[in-house]
């Protein structure tokens, strides 16, 4: 096991900069998820840690050792690829033994390790099969097994679940989490799937356009997004963003005015809000923090947290119901309790949990509160 540190890492392809001044420390034994949309530089960052891409600027350390010029084979890492990259001409045993044979490990030790890992991953009965004779889920486990038998300092995983169907993905996700708990090996996991990022990582690093946006524990990122990108990327459906003007009322309370509705400001901290009075800001409300006032809610309805909207689309999912709403020209999405009785075309009162809402600077897109 070992920590991994990226210091001011830059990757350029010609004039295109794929990763910009990335600073990231993955602690010993930690499960770190790199998440972001396609082209955000997360895979490039992972490949630089693996040694599959040269580092244009900056330093990568594995433990105390700077590995910029160290060959992949000498970094003591193992990687699980998106398409598994199993050797098609070798059977499962040979696939898993390949790296061990190269390291000239005694045959008895190879056999023992492979049998132990095969048992752990429940692939013992496939050891003599070729990859083409396995299902996607089985191949995925073999790819994991090939990485585990090496007992490396660091695991690198590049979207290993993206080729699996939804059900298998959930199942394998849980298996990987359990495996990490059991082995305790430092793991860096790349995904574009925010559900994987939220559920798997001890911490997650959200990236966009090669720039690290925020790195923290998943719930902290969900509750306290650093900017509008992170706020919109994490959480399904995405956060509602409404351009509003911050005003200070006669009684000293702060409100936000969208032109269509007026709500109390998300926080009462005068010092934070004072500089923004009279200015345009962006109000961010998560769909799950919006409630049907006609049902029993955790938030007490007041004039300052309720808006009236038109129901545009109703998507009942059983336990919850996703609503597409209109407040004048504004389009909002809410996820309310499945017991809601609203129908398309209804006017309905929506209660917003303003303690969980956010304000963003419209220019920098950074969070104000």
- Per CB under 8 A, 164 contacts other proteins: no
Name the phi and psi angles at 189, rounded to 5.
-125, 125
Residue from 72, 136, 237, 362 touching other proteins (CB under 8 A): that is 72
- Per CB under 8 A, 314 contacts other proteins: no
Burial class (CB in 10 A: 0-12, 13-18, 19+), 278: exposed
CB of 109 vs other proteins, minimal distance in Å: 15
Query: Among residues 225, 228, 242, which one has the least CA distance to residue 364?
Result: 228
Q: Are 292 and 342 in contact (CB under 8 A)?
A: yes
Reading the block at residue 334, the tokens are 């809410």
Query: Among residues 215, 200, 190, which one has the least CA distance to residue 41?
Result: 190
Question: Residue 147 or residue 239: which is nearer to other proteins going by CB?
Answer: 147
**Cis, peptide link before residue 159, omega less than 30° from 0:** no
- Per CB under 8 A, 141 contacts other proteins: no
Question: Residue 78 or residue 321: which is nearer to other proteins going by CB?
Answer: 78
Reading the block at residue 93, the tokens are 């045993």
Can you tell me the distance from the alpha carbon of 338 to that of 104, in angstroms, rounded to the nearest whole number? Answer: 60
Among the residue ranges 71-79, 233-241, 313-321, 335-343, the one whose residues contact other proteins (CB under 8 A): 71-79
- Residue numbers 98-127 binding other proteins by CB under 8 A: 98-99, 102-103
Q: How far is Cα of residue 66 from the mean position of the Cα atoms in its chain?
A: 28
CB of 63 vs other proteins, minimal distance in Å: 17
Question: Residue 36 or residue 51: which is nearer to other proteins going by CB?
Answer: 51
Question: Residue 42 or residue 75: which is nearer to other proteins going by CB?
Answer: 75
CB of 6 vs other proteins, minimal distance in Å: 18
Site string for other proteins, 13-52 (x = CB under 8 A): -------------------------------------xxx
Can you tell me the distance from the alpha carbon of 114 to that of 95, in angstroms, rounded to the nearest whole number? Answer: 10
Name the phi and psi angles at 233, rounded to 5.
-80, -40
CB of 283 vs other proteins, minimal distance in Å: 45
Q: Are 190 and 157 in contact (CB under 8 A)?
A: yes
Residue from 33, 35, 48, 79 touching other proteins (CB under 8 A): that is 79
Reading the block at residue 307, the tokens are 């808006």
Can you tell me the distance from the alpha carbon of 47 to that of 31, in angstroms, rounded to the nearest whole number? Answer: 17
Can you tell me the distance from the alpha carbon of 236 to that of 335, in angstroms, rounded to the nearest whole number? Answer: 10
CB of 94 vs other proteins, minimal distance in Å: 10
Residue from 146, 173, 203, 208 touching other proteins (CB under 8 A): that is 146
CB of 165 vs other proteins, minimal distance in Å: 21
CB of 78 vs other proteins, minimal distance in Å: 7
Residue from 78, 117, 206, 336 touching other proteins (CB under 8 A): that is 78
Site string for other proteins, 51-70 (x = CB under 8 A): xx------------------
Torsion 313-292-273-248 (CA) sign: positive
- Per CB under 8 A, 87 contacts other proteins: yes
Q: Which residue has the tokens 């309805």?
A: 301
Question: Residue 50 or residue 359: which is nearer to other proteins going by CB?
Answer: 50
Question: Residue 30 or residue 159: which is nearer to other proteins going by CB?
Answer: 159
CB of 48 vs other proteins, minimal distance in Å: 13
Reading the block at residue 122, the tokens are 């429940």
- Per CB under 8 A, 81 contacts other proteins: yes
CA–CA distances in Å: residue 21 to residues 41, 256, 328? 11, 37, 43
Three-state DSSP state, 186? strand
Among the residue ranges 76-84, 116-124, 268-276, 354-362, the one whose residues contact other proteins (CB under 8 A): 76-84
Q: Are 151 and 103 in contact (CB under 8 A)?
A: no
Binding residues for other proteins, rule: CB under 8 A, are: 50-52, 71-73, 75, 77-79, 81-83, 85-89, 98-99, 102-103, 146, 150
């Amino acid at each position: 096991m070992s920590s991994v540190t990226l210091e001011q890492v830059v990757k350029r392809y010609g004039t295109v900069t794929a990763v910009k001044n990335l600073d990231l420390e993955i602690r010993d034994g930690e499960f770190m998820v790199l998440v972001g949309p396609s082209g955000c530089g997360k895979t490039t960052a992972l490949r630089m840690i693996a040694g599959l891409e040269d580092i244009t600027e900056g330093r990568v350390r594995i433990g105390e050792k700077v590995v910029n010029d160290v060959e992949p084979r000498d970094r003591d890492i193992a990687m699980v690829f998106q398409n598994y990259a199993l050797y098609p001409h070798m059977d499962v045993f040979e696939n898993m033994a390949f790296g061990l044979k190269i390291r000239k490990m005694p045959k008895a030790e190879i056999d023992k390790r492979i049998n132990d890992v095969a048992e752990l991953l429940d692939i013992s009965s496939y050891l003599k099969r070729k990859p083409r004779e396995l299902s996607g889920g089985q191949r995925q486990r073999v790819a994991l097994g090939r990485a585990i038998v090496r007992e490396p300092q660091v695991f690198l995983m590049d979207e290993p679940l993206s080729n699996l169907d939804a059900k298998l993905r959930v199942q394998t996700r849980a298996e990987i989490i359990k495996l990490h708990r059991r082995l305790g090996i430092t793991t860096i996991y790349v995904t574009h799937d925010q559900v994987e990022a939220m559920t798997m990582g001890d911490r997650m690093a959200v990236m966009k356009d090669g720039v690290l946006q925020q790195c923290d524990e998943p719930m902290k990122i969900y509750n306290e997004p650093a900017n509008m990108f992170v706020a919109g990327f994490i959480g399904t459906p995405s956060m509602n963003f409404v351009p509003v003007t911050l005003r200070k009322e006669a009684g000293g309370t702060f409100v936000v005015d969208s032109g269509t509705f007026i709500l109390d400001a998300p926080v009462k901290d005068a010092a934070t809000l004072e500089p923004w009075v009279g200015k345009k800001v962006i109000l961010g409300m998560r769909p799950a923090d919006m409630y049907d006032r006609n049902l029993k809610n955790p938030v007490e309805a007041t004039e300052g947290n309720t808006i009236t909207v038109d129901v545009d689309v109703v998507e009942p999912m059983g336990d919850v119901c996703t609503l597409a709403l209109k407040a004048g020209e504004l389009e909002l999405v809410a996820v309310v309790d499945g017991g809601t009785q609203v129908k398309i075309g209804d006017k309905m009162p929506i209660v917003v949990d303003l303690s969980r809402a956010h304000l963003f600077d419209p220019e920098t897109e950074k969070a104000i509160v």
